[in-house]
Amino acid sequence: MDETPPPIPRRNPLGPLPPVTPPSAVPPPMPPQGAPYHAAEPEPEPRLCKMAVGSCILSVLGFFMAGIPSFFGFIFGIVAMIRIKRSDGDLKGKGWAISGIVSGAVIMIAIGVFIQKFSSIIEEQMVANEEPFAYINTPPNFKGLLDRADRTSLGDVHVLQVKTHGSEPAQNMQLRIYLPAGAEDAAPGSLPCVLVAPAGTDLLSGAMLGELDDEAYHDETLPYAEAGIVTVFYSIDGGGEDYFYDDDSMMEAASSQYDQFRDAQAGILNGRYALEFVLAELPMVNPEQIYTAGHSSAGTLSLLLAMHEPRVAGCLAYAPGVDIEVFHAELLDTPLIGLIFPNVKNFLRKSSPINNVEKLQCPTFLFQSMEDEVVEIGEFNAFTDRLKAQPNAPEFDIMIIEQGDHYWPMIEDGMPAGIEWIKERVSTSGEVTH
């Protein structure tokens, strides 16, 4: 029996073959070399719009800065809203932008309303400053005032001093009353009266009277009372009891007192209320024989009171300042002077007697020295020339002396002549016609 020999195994020239793995155990193919694996990236967060935040901040700042930043905050808010809308979700801050727009609009409207109202108030004030001094007559309560008066005697003259009270201009003032001998027992309406204001002001502020004591000033008041004329010395709003020895300190004080002086119409209201006091509390005075008098700045007020108060029977002015705009020319040329003295240009124009000569309708006595260096004779003559040129000029007497300074000629020559002028009018006239 033939035996077939077993097959001879073939050898792989490349070596032994690897074992065959079942298909289910084959691992997934590796990615190609050089192709890295990337995980899915999250969506980017929207960025906050800086302009939206800035618009809100600017709008709020406008509340403290007259509304100017609010305007830019309002504009920036609108621009920010447009940018956010067009960013397709890349920008956020819509709430900031809306807050900036709304707050900016509200603040601008509020500031606008305030400016409008404030401007109307300023405009009304400017119109009032352009117009003549308005007639105001709301005096304080004088009832029982004399019962509380401080009292003294100067020879036969009894002197009383009182202080009024009130909340409106010129209602807080001092009054010093000089009663001639026998005046308290005189028949009603039998004596003349003169109203005198304190001199020596800068015509931007007023003056107090000081206390009624041994050092009280009487040189410009007592001579009238000694001549039988009831005399009322009254304070001017916007004054203190300090004395100033240089222009700088006086001007510094005036800047803080100016508003009160201006509101009292340069002292016209003080003079008017002094007159009301006489009519209410001094029955011995003849209402038709009440005069106003004063020296220097008080002479200015004496003229102004006579120009604005029709009940004044006559005016006496010794070396009065009549052109206050010229007197304060350097001050008026100072830049931004209105910040220190509001509306001062209009005020000085209104309170200059030379600008109101047509209002002076009562008899007037004017006194001046040719050597006066405070109120120069040229200024005085310009005033009297304008007074004479008025078609309905009042009766007036002018007394000019050749020698003497600003003060002593008034004491030695002016007041004695003025007292005689009053006496002549009292003895020769009944009712005074204005």
Q: Which of 105, 130, 155 is the last residue of a domain?
A: 130
Distances (CA, A) of 321 to 28, 230, 233, 269, 401: 117, 26, 19, 19, 17
* Best CA proximity match to 176, nearest among 219, 210, 200, 142: 210
The answer to whether position 380 is within a domain reads yes
Place of tokens 């004399």: 146
The answer to whether position 23 is within a domain reads no
pLDDT for residue 433 is more than 50 = no
pLDDT digits (tens, 9 = 90+) for 18-33: 665 555 555 666 656 6
Please tell me whether residues 268 and 364 are part of one structural domain.
Answer: yes
103-117, 168-182, 213-227, 349-363: range with lowest mean pLDDT: 103-117
Amino acid 116: pLDDT: 79
The answer to whether position 65 is within a domain reads yes
Q: What whole-number distance in Å separates Cα of residue 47 and Cα of residue 200?
A: 74
Chain Cα centroid distance, residue 116: 19
Please tell me whether residues 215 and 103 are part of one structural domain.
Answer: no
Please tell me whether residues 84 and 173 are part of one structural domain.
Answer: no
Please tell me whether residues 52 and 77 are part of one structural domain.
Answer: yes
Assign 58 a pLDDT band (cuts: 50, 70, 90).
Answer: confident
Q: Which residues contact 425 (CB under 8 A, 6 or more apart)?
A: 289, 313, 314, 363, 432
pLDDT digits (tens, 9 = 90+) for 244-261: 455 666 667 677 899 999
The answer to whether position 87 is within a domain reads yes
End-to-end CA distance of the chain: 183
**Domain count across the chain:** 2
Q: Please, which residues bridge with residue 161 across strands?
A: 150, 176
The answer to whether position 38 is within a domain reads no
Q: Two tokens at 46? A: 């929207």
Please tell me whether residues 78 and 177 are part of one structural domain.
Answer: no
Q: Which of 359-362's residues contact partners 24+ apart within 8 Å by CB, and which partners? A: 359/132, 359/307, 359/308, 360/303, 360/306, 360/307, 360/315, 360/387, 360/390, 360/394, 361/310, 361/392, 361/394, 361/434, 362/306, 362/312, 362/313, 362/314, 362/315, 362/394, 362/432, 362/434
Please tell me whether residues 199 and 300 are part of one structural domain.
Answer: yes
CB-CB contact of 312 with 188 (8 Å): no
The answer to whether position 420 is within a domain reads yes
The answer to whether position 41 is within a domain reads no
The answer to whether position 284 is within a domain reads yes
CB-CB contact of 292 with 316 (8 Å): yes
Q: Which is more confidently placed, 243 or 98?
A: 98
pLDDT digits (tens, 9 = 90+) for 305-355: 999 999 999 999 999 999 999 999 999 999 988 888 999 999 999 999 999
Please tell me whether residues 150 and 117 are part of one structural domain.
Answer: no
Please tell me whether residues 419 and 318 are part of one structural domain.
Answer: yes
Please tell me whether residues 93 and 158 are part of one structural domain.
Answer: no
The reply to whether the predicted model has a pTM over 0.75 is no
Amino acid 17: pLDDT: 57
Please tell me whether residues 368 and 303 are part of one structural domain.
Answer: yes
Distances (CA, A) of 319 to 200, 268, 378, 399, 400: 12, 19, 12, 10, 10
Q: Two tokens at 25? A: 């155990």
Please tell me whether residues 211 and 328 are part of one structural domain.
Answer: yes
pLDDT above 90 coverage of the chain, percent: 61
Q: Two tokens at 282? A: 């001094």
CB-CB contact of 401 with 413 (8 Å): yes
- Name the amino acid, one letter, at 157: V
Please tell me whether residues 357 and 258 are part of one structural domain.
Answer: yes
Average pLDDT, the chain: 87
Place of tokens 């308005």: 134
For residue 5, the SS3 value is: coil
The secondary structure of 118-172 as a DSSP string is: HHHHHHHHHHHHHSPPP----PPP-TTTGGG-EEEEETTEEEEEEE---SSTT-S
Which residues span the domain enclosing 92? 47-130
The CATH code of the domain that includes 267 is 3.40.50.1820
Cβ-based neighbour number of residue 204 at 10 Å: 26
Cβ-based neighbour number of residue 229 at 10 Å: 23
